[in-house]
Amino acid sequence: MTLNNGLFFYKHYFEGLPPALGQRTPPDPTVGRLDLRPGSDLAKEQTSARNDLLVKQTYQDSSEDLPFTTPQYQWFQLETRYPGLLIGTGYPHDIPAAGAIKLGFYFDYTTGLPVIPGSTVKGALSQRFDKHPDYVAEVLGESLGQAEPGKQITAVKELAREIFTGHKCVFLDAWPVRPSQEQEQQGRLLGMDTITPHPHKERYEGLMEPNPVYQLKVIPGVVFAFRFFLPERIGGLTRDVLLGAFKRIITDLGIGAKTNVGFGVFDDPETPVTRLALLESSVA
């Protein structure tokens, strides 16, 4: 890896803006000053070059370099599925140039790698326990030790308090450990995506052309390692049972932004789901 994506995305991406916008002229003469005229072909060319620097970086499998097998860690791996993963879209990254990436993204500060913050993992799991206790009860099954549905829900809520309050369970950042193996994106982590909002009907008469908004995403086929510090037992459950429940919940319900339209969905890399099977299941 030759580029810290986080540093480039939030600093160098903006270099070359006119001084009137408070940006300095870049020291590298190969990075030209951005043309900010609406719809400018030059602006599209310049921002496209910046986008390519981000998405065309290639990486090596790093699963052997990280200490996931030490007794202190509990972990599992999951693989991103189409259309990919969105994290950090709420961060500002607005630049008035055609073709520029308009939404933010989350990168590890030191390495520049796209990671899923431990707080995001904890929040997603906590929300499932809080909003869908019946589903969590189904996932845990007989491990809860309760047969009656009402008592199962109570047991899930008590378990949630033990897991998500205090410091018994620690949720670490989830790291990418293997880049995509898909043919056209071999070795990559990142790709581009767009959303195409239309103007509000009441404000404009008739249909207008959509205005594409560009955003970064983690592409399909990237394997993440989700890591935790868990006690041997909590709420009557062993750490292996709890770890398996976490894996099932993330696999079933996803994580990150826009999960309602398919982003943030994962597969177990040991039992991959083929695209054909996915299409068949969606039709059914």
Domain map of the chain by residue range?
59-283
Residues pairing with 215 in the sheet: 193
Higher pLDDT, 151 or 217: 217
8 Å CB contact between 171 and 225: no
Among the ranges given (29-33, 117-121, 180-184, 225-229), the one the predictor scored with the smallest mean pLDDT: 29-33
Looking at residue 180, its amino acid is S
pLDDT the model gives residue 92? 86
- Which positions ≥6 away from 135 have C-beta within 8 Å? 128
Q: SS3 for 154?
A: helix
pLDDT the model gives residue 165? 92
Count how many Cα atoms sit within 13 Å of the Cα of residue 14 in the half-sphere of its side chain: 16
Long-range contacts of 141-150 (CB under 8 A, 24+ apart): 143/236, 143/237, 143/241, 144/236, 145/236
Q: What is the pTM of this model?
A: 0.83
Q: What is the mean pLDDT of residues 11-31?
A: 57
Q: Phi and psi dihedrals of 252, rounded to 5?
A: -75, -40
Of 170, 181, 6, 186, give the one whose Cα is nearest residue 79.
181
CA-to-CA distance for 251 and 5, rounded, in angstroms? 27
| 181, two tokens | 């193996």
Among the ranges given (23-37, 72-86, 232-246), the one the predictor scored with the smallest mean pLDDT: 23-37
Of 188, 134, 139, give the one whose Cα is nearest residue 157.
134
8 Å CB contact between 198 and 251: no
pLDDT at 217 over 80: yes
Measure the N-to-C terminal CA separation of the chain; round to a whole number of Å: 43
Give the percent of the chain with pLDDT over 70.
76
Residues pairing with 170 in the sheet: 229
Mean pLDDT over each residue of the chain, to the nearest integer: 81
pLDDT the model gives residue 200? 61
pLDDT the model gives residue 198? 66
Q: What is the mean pLDDT of residues 168-173?
A: 94
Locate the DSSP E strands across 81-205.
170-171, 175-178, 190-195
pLDDT at 186 over 50: yes
User: In which band, very low, low, confident or very high, does the pLDDT at 148 lie, cut at 50, 70 and 90?
Assistant: confident
pLDDT, tens digit, 9 for 90 and up, residues 218-274: 999 999 999 999 999 998 899 999 999 999 999 999 999 999 999 999 999 865 544
Q: What is the mean pLDDT of residues 43-59?
A: 86
pLDDT the model gives residue 204? 57
pLDDT at 65 over 90: no
| 98, two tokens | 């055609």
User: In which band, very low, low, confident or very high, does the pLDDT at 127 lie, cut at 50, 70 and 90?
Assistant: very high
User: In which band, very low, low, confident or very high, does the pLDDT at 19 lie, cut at 50, 70 and 90?
Assistant: very low
Higher pLDDT, 278 or 10: 10
Return left, alpha or beta for 218; rule: phi > 0 is left, psi -120 to 50 is alpha, else beta. Answer: beta
